Structure formats: structure tokens, C-alpha cells
Structure 1
Amino acid sequence: MEIYLVSIVLASFLLIPFVLKTFYPYVWMDILYFRDLLRILVRFVSRRRRRPLFFVLDRFLEQTAARPDKPFIVFGDESFTYASTDKRSNKLAHALQTLPGFTAGDTVALFMGNEPAFVFTWLALAKLGSPVALLNHNIRTKSLLHCFSCSKAKVLIAAAELKEAVEDVLPSLIEQDVTVLLMTEHCDTPGIQSFCRKVDEASDAPLPRSLRSHLTYKSPAVYIYTSGTTGLPKAAVVNQNRLLTALVILSSNGVSASDVIYVNLPLYHTAGFFVGFIGGIETGSTLILKKKFSASQFWDDCRKHRVTVIQYIGEVLRYLCNTPKRDNDREHKVRLAIGNGVRAEIWREFINRFGNIEVKEFYASTEGNVGFVNYAGKIGAIGRVNFLHKKLFPYTLIKYDTELDEVIRDSNGLCVEAPKGETGLLVSKITDIAPFVGYAQNEAQTEKKRLRNVLKKGDLYFNSGDLMRIDTDNFIYFQDRVGDTFRWKGENVATTEVSDIMTLSECLKEANVYGVQVQGHEGRVGMAAVTVKEEVQFDGGKIYKHVVGYLPSYARPRFIRIQNTVELTGTFKQMKLKLVEQGFDPEQIQDPLYILNDSEKSYIPLTVQVYNSIISGNTKL
């Protein structure tokens, strides 16, 4: 009898894994995720308790002490070790201290593309305890001045190739008594100081910790600009605490010091800065820094530098899949791709073509207070929801009326939760653990992201502006963005900003900007329904020149539709839904249609032939 009972017990234990795998297929992955989450929390809390206060810079200094001769930044044929990076940033910090009127702790704006100087300068400013505004190097004139002013920076440091862009706004900067520094040996423009020689001549001695003794975890560390539903870009305030949490992104995904990370996304953006740069500091990895993404050079770079980890946004993987197939497509060392925004079909195509690369899709936003990680590797999902995660960072999906562009509330004035399987707006509770800091110098836009009386009277949630869906297996999927923002070429485009700029032109009276889907393209391409001023002819050449002069390439409307009037809702909002649905088919639309043509430097009539070429994939946008 005892042997029989023992046999039953043993059989039961042997059956447990089978039962779990059959009825709870993701339970072991959930357990491993809980373990990783706990380890991250313990590390974060232990760092928060350190005295003096521990910041991202301190982690860099730890890595420099531990591996001084290891390459940290590789840029083309140049290589900079952790120690040489540290010393170069010391020189920059000492040179900055010699500037009249500059005090350690003053905010500085960095106007620079992906290059080692970006890394050196940020580290230098961190050593001085100065917040840094990371300006998009594609912006010009009005947008540039707006973004600069948001941060209340006293100094602008710009790359040499951006001299003309700086000169365009120089009178306004001089009027604000801003110190303008150009990363060059010589500059003959009055009001702009060349800075490289001062840096070369400065000391590389370590900076005293006392220079940043004023910092707390609530102090702003960086300002990262994000397009919102209305107006010009907003400066999301990333404080020292938020930056400290960013350290764990790469290490929580199994990245270590032995990895080589390919950073080709802009450092002024959350993905390049947080995941690539800051994440690399945490892990002690080598960063292969690329000026900009190039699909044709991508895998050759990876092979040359023995890259093991790559970053992506959805479009990156699609662009790679669209390159001509080669015999050596699978000849590389890449084992992990981490990023967000990849469609399920592109995900499948990518791993089928380029090999067994683990794709770690995640969801997060610059200013948001909740994120998800697809740790189970479910193709198409942005993450997996579970009890522990929701307990630490309370969130829910609520019903949303996309036509009225507002949340749906019940008779008690509370929001209505969307059931599993249905699309809803992601909102996350604002708590001490999950705060929402908001936007610099923009309380109105900060308040717009706060949602009150969600599940009970008096509660406060962050409105992500993203529509999601949770399936029966607890995987969460991104569905769409709400409001007046669409995504194109990996960038968020604020339609109101584009509309305002278009109506500054000589011949346009009104402009209703929106995004339309194009088969074979990720995101939505910009289109504008416009009205022309009385007694003025539409001039495609002048509009092209105006748009190119004011907007970066990703924000320029590719299509223009001329209407007699711009339709408005009862609350005087521009109607977009019908326009989005109608798209840009000249056989379906009676209004005159135009397409942006870079070779002719004009908006030219959109013919049926050109339309068919776009739809067939022969013409790329």
C-alpha cells in the first residue's frame, strides 16, 4: 500500500509540469518575470538608499573604475574607452566653468546629432549637476526657438554642421542673453563662440562631487521633446529618479558587459537615449554609435563590429526586411533585438530571414508612468499583463469614443472599463511609485494628460493617448493612437503644429492635417485638406518651399487635398475621421489632389498612375 501511495505522489509531481504547460502555458515565464522584477526593485531600492545620492553618472564612474580600457563608444573608425570618455567629459565640464555667467546647475540645451561629442557633453553636464534639453537636430526656426525656450536654458551647445540653423534664430537667442557655443575650432559669426579649442586646452581632472550636491531625485535630469495632440513639441521632464529607473532596461533583458550594442536611433529620443546610451552605462557594454540609421549598411556594420544587441522601432525592422536578399543575411552575431512598434507580420519575416534573433518588444512613453515587456515573446504583443505588475503600477483600459475623441462615462460620471478582447484607452494611476511629472513650462498640456474620476471619485490617472486590447491569454496589443497625433518614420507628428505652419504660407487659409494609412508602410503618412485664400492661386512650388523650410521631412504632408471649406464638428474641431477613411485615391475623391515631389521641389497633381504606383509598392514614400 505504501509503495502504491508513493507511486501516486511521484506520478502527481511528474504530472504537474505537464498540467501547467497544458493549461497555464506561460506560468514559468511569469515566474521568471516576477523574479526579474523583484531583482530590479531590490537593486533600485538599494541605490535609492545610498548616501551620498546615487545617480546615473555614478554608475558610469563605477564602470570607468571597473573597466577603464574597455571601448565604450565606437564611432566609425574612432574608438573611445570608458577612461578616455571620462577624461574628455571632464575637459568639457572644466571649459564650461570658464564661461562668464554660467554656473554649475544651469540648464543647457544640446543641439547635436549622434556623435561622440553628444555623449561627452551630456556626461560633462551631469558632472556639473546641469539639466540638459535634448533638442531634435531636425527642427528649425519657430520650433527650435520654442523648444529651447521651454527648458529655460542659459546655454546652447550645437554641432558644427548645425551652424546655419543656429544663425537663423541667433537674434532671438542674443536678445535672451543666451551663450551660444559651436563645436568647432573657429567661428566668425558674431554671437557664436567656437568651443573645441577651449575644451582641448582645459584640464581633464575629475570634477568635485560638491558641484552636484544640490541635486535630489526630483531634480530634472533631461528634457526630452514629445509631440502632443496640439501645438508645438512639449518638453517632457525626466527627473533623476526616472533616469535611475532607466538604467535597468537593458540589464533586465539579459544584456551584459560582454554585449556590443548597435545604437543607430537618435540620442535625442527616448529609445536611443534611455535604452541605448543609459542602458549601456548600466551594463558596461560597448556602444557602436551610428550617425543615422542606414538599412543598406546595417548588417555590414553588425558584422564588422561583432554586434550582439540591436535596437529598433517598427520601421527599422521593416526597412531591413525590404533590403535585397543576400547570401550572408544570417551571418552575424546579433542575438537580441529590443524595441517597440513592430507589426506581427514584419516580426515573423524578420526572424525567418535573419535568423533566430530574440525580439523583445516593449511599451513605454517618455512622460508615461507605466510600461509593458513582452517577456514571453508572443509575436504581435507589446507585453503581458499580470497581477503583480498591476498591483505595483495600477492601470486599466477604459472605453473611448474615437469619433467624439473623448472617454465614455457612466451615469455616475465614472469611466467604463473595457472588457477583455475589446479596445480601450490605456490609463495608469498616478502614484508615488508611478508619478507623472509633466511638461516644462506647459501646465495646460500637463493637465490634459491627467484624467480624474476614472474608477472612483477623486482618483487621478495618466492618459496615455494609446488604444490597447488585452486578449484572453493576458497579452496586451497596441491598436492605435487617439487625438491629433499620428506616427510616421518613427516620429510622432502633431497635426495642429503642422496645420499652424502650413497656414503661415502665402496662399493657404486653413489646413486640416491628418495621417492616412498606405499599404506596405508602417504608421500613417501625413495628408492635409486645405482651403486656398480668396483671389489667390494654389502654388505647389511655394508651398513646397514653405513646408521644407519649417518642417522636418517626417512631418511634411505628402498629400494635399484642396477643399472649398474645412468641415468642423459641433464643438468647432476639425473633422478628420471621414477624411482619414477616404484616403488619397484620385478616383474616389473629386477634390484636387497633390503629392509632394522632391525632385521637382513642388506639390504636383496626384494622378491615377502615381497613385497605383504607390499602392503597388513601386513608388516609396
Structure 2
Amino acid sequence: MGFSTETVKGPIRRVVATAQNGLEVIRLGGLETDLTTSPFEVVERRPMYRLRRYFPDTDPAEVGPPIVLVPPMMMSADVYDVTRDQGAVGILHEMGIDPWVVDFGSPDTEEGGWDRNLADHIVAISEIIDKVRAHTGRDVHLSGYSQGGMFAYQAAAYRRSRNIASLVTFGSPVDTLAGLPFGIPAGFASDAAAFLADHVFNRLAVSGWMARTGFQLLDPVKTLKSRLEFLRQLHDREALLPREQQRRFLATDGWVAWSGPAVAELLKQFIVHNRMMTGGFVIKDRVVSLAELTCPIMAFVGEVDDIGQPLAVRGIRRAAPRANVYESTLRVGHFGLVVGSAAAAHTWPTTGEWVRWNEGMGPKPSTVDLMRYDEHFGSETGVSISDRIIHTVASVAEVGVGVGKGITGFASGAVRGTVELSGEATRALPRLARLGQMQPHTQISLSRLLAEQRRKAPNGECFLFDNRVHTYEAVNQRIDNVVRGLISAGVRPAAHVGVVMETRPSALAVIAALSRLGAVAVLLPPGREIHTAIRIDGVERIVTDPENLDAALATGMQVLVLGGGDLRSLDVEPGSNVVDLEQIDPESVALPGWYRPDPGLAREPAFIICSESNGHWETKQITNYRWALSAFGTASAADLDRGDTVYCIAPLHHSSSLLAAVGGAVAGGSRIALSKGLDAERFTEEVQRYGVTVVSYTWTMMREILDAESLDLLGNYPIRLFLGSGMPQGLWRRTTECFAPAKVLEFYASTEGDVVLANVAGAKIGCKGRPLPGSADVRLAAYDPISGRLLEDDRGFVRECADNEVGLLLGRAGVHGEMSGVALRGIFAAGDAWIATENLFRRDADGDFWLVDHKKTVIATARGPVFTQPIVDALAAVDRIDLAVAYGIEVGGSTLAVAAFTLRDGRPPRLADVAEAIEALPFGWRPDIVHVVDAIPLGSSFRPNADGLSAAGLPKPGTRVWYLDSNSQEYKRLTKAVAAQFHDGSAGMPAGAR
């Protein structure tokens, strides 16, 4: 069989063509094409960006609505104009849209480029929106691809949607931890991102080739497929030319460098803390949340996108509950969303139709639907198994290889298997170990922990207030300045200084400054008589803010004024005993030789807290150890870390704020969010804007939030935990129902000794839990609440209570004990020492403790002691009951136990429901009288106060007043005749009054 000439020439021509084309690729980086890009002019030049306007010669009468296209930080702005006929700007222009493109350039060629941070990009985009708005006179449609879309979301939130007609994003993740490449576990990714941000990208930038290689490795099969296809067709120039510009762009030309600070900030805010989803990300010291977006949003979703995974992209649906959010899906990967035939046929025509629809110029695009957001498990990504298999098999088949991305399933499983460490345990152990190593002479204090956090992360976010963020560096600098002012005013170590201030940054600064100085802050509630300070030995002066200046002056003490700004004027008499600390130049104050920062020892007093208990003001001395116990204990029990924002709605002078909220946040490295006061509208706004994950409360504080008509969270809130003390059981249930799946972490901390209990699991509503690690060992001692005596066994030791027996809570007196009371010795064994608390508890069979009463509020009736807390808890189980209190009254020579409650909706519950709830108590624990009242006063800590009701005596007979009949053991309506029997002590009275 012979060979024809053509049989020989064909392969030769193919080899020659391949060689020629190959040499051209080697010499020029690619094939020369006749395809052109779209014309543009640079309208604005700034160090951060150049603003391109495409098709500048268009007749002004034909210019349509403007759209601003934002590229990712690592990709050239030419991504929107790879080719004129298939690029974004060309297609949008043909549809009557006015395209503008942001060009950030490359940091390695721009002056100061390597120092750019994330906020620089957001502020630049905000500035561009203003410029385009001024140039065109129309609101702007803001869009972005991948990270550029994240920028668009953030800039729109930063502006609160001002002058933004709509948002359009392409494969832009919002819930970044919901869908990570290769199915990497969120915990592992968060820890890895934190390490990279703190130890790598603070020193290293990402070059263009590194960015290109990294993204190609995210989809190695597609990368290999593209290269093999190119090599296979290298002989066929005509087949390669239509896609040559696209290939060169993705292979080499399209990638630019990243600045290290921008990458570090991106990792911290949106990978480590996922604050696109939770809110509370920071742009130029302003706190921002996507929950504030109100403009229409459309997100393009790639069904097989392993970078901007569907679940991550659809996170915008929950993150922006006030916006109308739409989506358009197409079966492509990440790059296919904006470059290539699918983008030319679907993405850009749909974008143009979306803009026209929002401008009233056309119908809604048929490929656009309201976005759905389904709850998901942590192992899901949003890329279905079938889609992943089809996409992978198709890619593998096209390149003829036997392995593909399916192997990543094995790899990700291996990763998951090796990352099973509990984050909670790894964070808690060092904290508990530090508590265990603490001795009376150990230096520990609030100011010392703040200084430690400053050394770890000077630019870390310390606290938020009034929509501003304050870094550890700025906070510590403010503290040091206040220290110098205090020294100039004569404050020395161990001095007791009254603090009367509203919740504000200056209040936290002065408390910490006194701690840094080694003085003792005596915290007094503003708005009340503060003569309490005069009765505390050693108080020489008061620090206050301008709002409380008059009340402080009335004490006759020296008054130091802090806060309110540098330019405010104080209305005080000349020659008065007032020092304006804001007017003291810190640099002019010479530090004395005795000054040593943060000298406080564990055994020394740190604060004196004035609190209201049972209608009386009491003072509580808190040592540095006791504060550290609460701080590290809260951080451990609540699993606080850098990703948390602890919202402190209680005033700073309250013990729960200073010990649990502020203390726990500082010990855990979490952000502290200070509120100006309890207000439901402010609560809603700040929870979402700050990205609040933990809310601290006291007693019935959350009732003010839940009852408000203005409470509107739209199902979007990042809160995972409420922590505090004293929350009634009914309010506990309402709180967890409203904010599900958030839990309540209820604490009990004794004012004597080092006893701290915590209901960490939160499963038993109303329970105080068990002792925190590091707190004192606790026992329940048998106790007679009527005589006030401990009960002994036949050997003379105090008898320890059995399960569910009411007893006095004792804490073992250790070296850290505050010794505010006299230690009791020889209690359960010879030579032991215990400190008695003021509270009665019972311990259930599981070992959990339940508060029963305070020693002073036990009601001594004729039938025996009646405990108030079980009555309150029983009534709290009735749906229509709001607040409840129990108290004793003297009537006819006897003491009666009375329960009063208010109504939630104005309608009283059925007597049968009330009786059923109370009958769950032992007969001897039930109240003699139950009645409905219009209101129950609340103390300064939002604790229900029964003093006024008790002083009013026996309730007047009526339809909402019931008494316990001794004969039938049932509750009946209190009539005038029965009330008369109570007053004269006749035999017709109930059993408790005889």
C-alpha cells in the first residue's frame, strides 16, 4: 500500500504550525490576536485607584444608568474587558448601561501600595460612588466579582446604601465559614487564618504569581484541562484565537499583587470572625454591619463554584434582612461567572436586564429569582454531590486523566480527622491553669490584663461605643494619660476614690487608671444620693463626669471631672474644689519615684461596689483575685475568644458588668460593646451593627427588651449567649424562645469568699449550676432559717445537707478568700475553715445548685419557714404572669407569706393555672395570699423589689386576690369576711395564720 503526498504533508504542516505557534507563545507570552478591547478614559486618578469610564464618546443623550464594576484585590481591572464582544463593559454598553470600572492597580507598582489595608479599599469605593453620582447625577449600581463583590457589600453598608441604586455581585462569599474550598472545617480554617494574619501577612505580601498559582491550585483539574487543550490545539491557530485573550488573562496577565495588611485584615475580619455574616466589622474606626443594607441585591451563584460556594454566597440573604435579595444561578465555576462564553451569554445580559428593571426601563429578568437560604449543617457547602461529581467527571473525561477533584473528598476527610481538638478546651485550660497558679502575692488586675492584651495585639479591637471602635493601644494610652491626671490631683496607691459616671469610655478609662495606679475604685450609681461614699472609710475624692458634677459637689469632697470632650466648659464657681482632668497635659506631669504601673496583688482590694439588696444599699469589697476569678471563669464558661463581642447593657458600676462582662471579655480577648443605656431600639441597632455574640444582663433587664414594640431583629442576630445573674425562669424561657438557638449562662457569685457557680449547660432553667473551676469548694450546711443557727450532728460537727434539703451555702476559706466575714472553723472536720454566704440553696441529685432564698428574706410563718424563690419560680411557669415577688406581712399578730404578680398582656391567668403551679410546691412552702398587682418596682439592677408591697400590708379583697384555705388546701377568692378574720386573728384564718 502506497502513501500519497498529502498523507506526508499533513503531519508535517501540523508540526510546523505547532512549532511556529509555540515559538510565538514563548516569545510573546501568547498568540497575537486581532481582537480589541473597549475604549475608556481615566476620569479620576488617586494613589489608591484610577477610575475608568468606558465608551466616553457616547452621546450624552444616550448614556444610561451608571454601573460601577469592582475587581477583586488580586485581579486586574481588565477582568471586565478581556474582549470587547464578550466582556462585561462591551455587553453592558450595548444594552444602554454606562459602565465604570475601578482600577486599584498593583501594590508593587503604586506608591505606598504595600501598606494598603482593607479599609483603604472600602473608603476608596465610597469616594468613587460620590464621584460617579456627581458626574452622572444618578444613583449608582455597584457591582463586584469575588472579593470585589465583598468590597461592594462592605462599601454599601459603610454608606448605609446612600446613593446606591442596587448591588450586583458575582460569586462573592458572605458567610465565609459556611462554604470553604475543599470542605475545610470552619474551626481549622479560622485558626489557620488567625495564624496567617498574625504571623505571616503582617510581614509578607502576596505577589502576582503567588496569587495566580494559589487560585489555580484551588481547581487543579480545570487548570490542567485548559493547558492540555491549548497544547492539543496549538497547531490550529484559528481554533485558539477566539479564546486566546481569555486564556492569557487567566494564565498570566490578569493577576496582581496583594498588600500584606489588606490580606491580614481580610483574614481576621471575614475568615477568623466571619463578620460579613455577624456584623461588627470595622472600617476606619467605624463599626459596620450588612444588616443595614436596604438597596436591592442580586447575587450570581455558580452551582459548581468551589471558591465562592453557594452557601457562602447565599449568606447575604440572612446578613441583609432589610434588603430584597435575588439570585441568578448558572452551572459554572468561579471564573466562569465573569469570563467566557457562559458569562457572555448569561451573566452580563442578566446584569443589564437587572439594572434596566430597577430603573423602570424593562421587565424583571427571567433568570432572576428571590434568593433562598436554607439552614445547613457544618459539613455542607452548597455545591451538591451530584453537581460536583458531574462537573469533576466531565472535566476529567475531557483531559483524559484518571484522577480528579474527587480526591479532595478524601483529603478533606483526612483534614477533618486530624482537627478534632476542642476549641473550648484549648482556650479554657490556660485560663484555669493561670487561676490555679495564682497566689496572694501574684500581680493581677484589670489594668494588667489590658496591658497584656495591648502587648499581644496593639491594634486589636478593645471596645466599641457609640458606633466607634477603640484599639488596645488607644485605650491603654488613654488610661496612662488619666493616670498622670490622677497623680497630679494627689491620688496615691491604695487610695479609695469614688467614681460616679454614666457608662462611657471615660468611665472605663478611670476605673482602669485607678487599677493601674494601685488605687481602689469605689463605684457609685449615678442619679442617686451618693452620700454613701462619705460613709466609706478612706474616700477622699470623687471622679465624675459633667452630667453628675452637681451631685458630686454636694458631698463636699474634692471632685475630679473626666469625659465630655476637651472643649466642654464646666459650670462651677471660681475657687471651688474641682479639677478638670481633661485640661491637664499628660506630658507636663512628672511621674513620681513611687509610681509602678499595675502593682495590684491578688490579695489586695481592687474595687468597692455599692449595690442595692432587699431595699438597702450595701458595699462589697472585690479583691483583684476575686475579679480575676470572675474574669477567667466567665471567659472559660462562656468560651469567649477574639471572635466574640460582649454587649454590656448594664451600667459599669454594677458588679455583673465589671466582673463578668468586662472581666470575661478582657480575659478572653473579646471586644467589649458598651451601651448608653437600656433601650430596645438601640439594642436592636447595636446588636446587629456591632456583631454582638454575647449579651450580659442583670435580673429582669431582658424584659425591657422583649416587651418593646420596637424590637425588630428580623430573624438575623449573631447572639449565641446571654450571661448574667438573677433572670426569672419565665423571662429565661421567653429569651431563649425569642433568640433561639442562643442560650442563657446564669451565674451566682457570693459577696463573701470566692464562690462562683455557673449553669454552663443551660438545660435546667433557673438553676445556678455548679462551682466554676478555680472557685472555692462549696458545701451546703444544715441550717435553721428561723433561729439563724447551723445544725450539728451527734459528733458536734455541722451536718451536711442531703440532696434537695435546704441549707446555707458555704465556701472553703482559701488563701484567696476575701475574709470579708469571720471564717467558721471546725465545721465539717477538725481544723477546716469555711466562709458563710448569705444565701440558702438546695442541691439536686445531679449535683446542681438551686437558689432558695436570702437569709434575710425567709418568711417566718407560724407553720415554719416559707422560702421566697420557689414561689417566684412556680409563678413564673404560668404563661400570662410577668413579674412575681414573695414577701411577708404582719397581720393579726402573725406573719403571712404573700405572693404578688403582674400580668403580661393585661389578662389574668385562670385561678386553676395559678393553683396548679403553686401546688407543685410542698404545702409548707406555699404562700398564704396570692394577688395580682399593677406593677412591681425594680431596683437599680432591675431586681424586683417587694418592700412597697410589704409595707402596704394585707391586699384588699377582690376578684384578683386569693387565699389558701387550710381545710380544703385550695386557693379561694379573698372576701371581706375572710380578710376580717386575718386582721382579728380568729379561728377562721388559714393554717399559716393560726
TM range (shorter): 0.5 to 0.7
- Per-residue deviation, 1:73: 2.6
Deviation at 1:181, TM superposition (A): 1.8
- C-alpha spacing 1:465/1:104, structure 2 compared with 1 (3 Å): closer
Equivalent residue for 1:80? 470
Aligned to 2:498: 109
Flag the 1:239–1:389 CA change in 2: closer, same or farther, 3 A: closer
Q: Which runs of 5+ in 1 are unaligned?
A: 1-30, 174-178, 439-445, 487-513, 531-547, 565-581, 594-621
Equivalent in the alignment of 2:487: 97
Alignment of 1:78-227 (within 5 A): 78-99=468-489, 101-140=490-529, 144-170=530-556, 173=557, 179-183=558-562, 185-189=569-573, 191-199=576-584, 210-212=595-597, 215-227=600-612
Residue 329 of structure 1: how far off its partner (Å):
4.9
Deviation at 1:116, TM superposition (A): 1.0
**Aligned 8 A contact 1:363 1:382 in 2:** no
1:42 aligns with 2:427: no
Q: Match of 1:350, SS?
A: helix
1:607 counterpart residue number: none
Equivalent residue, structure 2, for 1:465: 838
Query: Residues 300, 526 of structure 1: CA spacing in aligned structure 2 closer, same or farther, 3 A cutoff?
Result: farther
Deviation for aligned residue 1:134: 1.3
Residue 248 of structure 1 corresponds to which residue in structure 2?
Answer: 632
Distance 2:435 2:855 in 1: 33
User: How far did residue 121 of structure 1 move?
Assistant: 0.6
Task: Give distance in 2, aligned partners of 1:281 and 1:206.
Answer: 27
Cα 1:208–1:80, aligned 2, differ >3 Å: closer, same or farther?
Answer: farther
Post-superposition CA distance 1:575-611 (Å, at most 9, x none): xxxxxxx9x9896656999xxxxxxxxxxxxxxxxxx
Distance 1:295 1:403 in 2: 43
CA distance in 1, matches of 2:940, 2:701: 22
Q: Which of the numbers 643, 648, 658 marks the counterpart of 1:258?
A: 643
Partner SS, residue 558 of structure 1: helix
SS state at 1:339 partner: strand
* Cα offsets for 1:404-462 (capped at 9, x unmatched): 34433345543322211222221122122x51331xxxxxxx34xx4444324554322
1:174-219: CA deviation from partner (whole Å, max 9, x where unpaired): xxxxx22233632424544141432466569999994358643322
Deviation at 1:119, TM superposition (A): 0.8
Q: 1:148 to 1:352 in 2, by over 3 A?
A: same
C-alpha displacement at 1:381, in angstroms?
A: 5.0
- What letter is aligned with 2:608? Y
TM superposition shift of 1:240: 2.4
The equivalent residue for 1:428 is 811
Contact 2:753-2:813 at 8 Å conserved across structures: no
The C-alpha deviation readout for 1:27-68, integer Å capped at 9, x for no partner, is: xxxx999987754332235566999x4543222112223333
State whether residues 752 and 836 of structure 2, in contact with CA within 8 Å, keep that contact through their aligned partners in structure 1. Answer: no
Distance 1:211 1:91 in 2: 14
SS of 2:760's equivalent in the other structure is: coil
Measured at CA, do residues 275 and 384 of structure 1 come closer, stay the same or move farther in structure 2, by a change above 3 Å? closer
- Checking the alignment, whether the CA contact within 8 Å between 1:112 and 1:158 is kept in structure 2 is yes
* SS of residue paired to 2:639: coil
Mapping of 1:487-566 within 5 angstroms? Answer: 520-522=881-883, 524=885, 557-559=947-949, 561=951
In the other structure, the counterpart of 1:340 is 725
Call closer, same or farther: CA 1:381–1:221 in 2, change over 3 Å: same
Find 1:283's aligned residue among 653, 668, 689: 668
Corresponding residue SS for 1:352:
helix
* Alpha-carbon distance in 2 for matches of 1:462, 1:129: 27
Following the alignment from structure 1 to structure 2, what is the Cα–Cα distance between the partners of residues 329 and 262? 19
Equivalent residue number for residue 455 of structure 2: 65
Measured after TM superposition, the shift of residue 82 of structure 1 is 1.8
Give the Cα separation in 1 of the matches to 2:941 and 2:768. 32
**Deviation string for 1:538-578 (max 9, x for gaps)?**
xxxxxxxxxx9x999976943364689xxxxxxxxxxxxxx
Distance 1:81 1:203, change over 3 A: farther
Q: Which runs of 5+ in 2 are unaligned?
A: 1-421, 860-867, 892-936, 955-970, 984-994
* Secondary structure at 1:399 match in 2: strand
Q: Which amino acid aligns with 1:249?
A: G
Question: 1:267 corresponds to which letter in structure 2?
Answer: L
* Residues 415-454 of structure 1 mapped to structure 2, 5 A cutoff: 415-432=798-815, 435-438=817-820, 446-447=821-822, 450-454=823-827
* Deviation for aligned residue 1:133: 1.1
Contact 2:700 2:731 in 1 (8 A): no
Taking structure 2 as the reference length, what is the TM-score of the superposition?
A: 0.43
Identity percentage over the alignment? 20
Residue 91 of structure 1: how far off its partner (Å): 1.8
Once the 2 structures are TM-superposed, how far is the Cα of residue 126 of structure 1 from its aligned partner?
Answer: 2.0
Tell me if the contact between 2:759 and 2:770 (Cα under 8 Å) persists in the aligned partners: no
Distance 1:222 1:413 in 2: 38
User: How many angstroms apart in 2 are the aligned matches of 1:330 and 1:213?
Assistant: 44
Q: Which residue of 2 aligns with 1:597?
A: none
Aligned CA distance change for structure 1 residues 592 and 324 (closer, same or farther; 3 Å)? farther
Residues 286 and 39 of structure 1: CA distance in aligned 2, closer, same or farther (over 3 Å): closer
* Greater radius of gyration (CA): 2
What SS is found at the alignment partner of 2:539? Answer: coil
* 1:521–1:407 distance in 2 versus 1, CA, 3 Å: farther
Any idea what SS the aligned residue of 1:431 has? coil
Contact 1:427 1:461 in 2 (8 A): yes
The answer for the alignment partner of 2:785 in structure 1 is 402
Distance 1:88 1:236, change over 3 A: same
Residues paired across the two proteins, number: 476
Q: CA, structure 1 residues 32+58, in 2 after alignment: closer, same or farther (shift >3 Å)? A: closer
**In the alignment, is the contact (CA less than 8 A) between 1:147 and 1:235 conserved in 2?**
no
User: 1:471: Cα distance to partner?
Assistant: 1.7
Aligned-residue offset at 1:389: 5.9
SS at match of 2:531: helix
TM-score of the pair, normalised by structure 1? 0.66
**What's 1:568 paired with?**
none
Preserved contact between residue 813 and residue 835 of structure 2 (Cα < 8 Å):
yes
User: 2: distance between equivalents of 1:552 and 1:38?
Assistant: 33
Q: How do 1:568-583 and structure 2 match up within 5 A?
A: none
- Separation in 2 of the partners of 1:105 and 1:472? 46
Kindly indicate whether residue 688 of structure 2 is the aligned counterpart of residue 303 of structure 1: yes
Residues 90 and 203, structure 1, Cα contact 8 Å, conserved in 2:
no
Equivalent AA in structure 1 for residue 500 of structure 2: F
CA drift of 1:156 comes to 0.9
CA contact 1:186–1:194 (8 Å) conserved in 2: no
Give the letter for the 2:715 counterpart. Answer: R
Are residues 437 and 227 of structure 1, via their aligned partners in 2, closer, same or farther at CA, if it must alter by over 3 Å?
farther
- Note closer, same or farther for the CA distance 1:428–1:585 as it changes in structure 2 (3 Å cut): farther
One-letter code aligned to 1:281: V
Letter in 2 for 1:116: P
Question: Which protein, 1 or 2, shows the higher relative CO under an 8 Å CA cutoff with sep ≥ 6?
Answer: 1
Could you tell me how far 1:271 is from its partner in structure 2? 0.7
Question: How far 1:302 sits from its partner (Å)?
Answer: 0.6
Distance verdict in 2 for CA 1:37–1:481, change over 3 Å: farther
Q: CA RMSD in A?
A: 4.2
AA of the residue aligned to 1:259: D
Equivalent residue in structure 1 for 2:715, among 302, 327, 330: 330
Match of 1:475 among 841, 848, 863: 848
Residue type of the alignment partner of 1:309: V
Call closer, same or farther: CA 1:135–1:326 in 2, change over 3 Å.
closer
CA distance in 2, matches of 1:475, 1:117: 40
1:485–1:296: structure 2 CA closer, same or farther, 3 Å change rule? farther
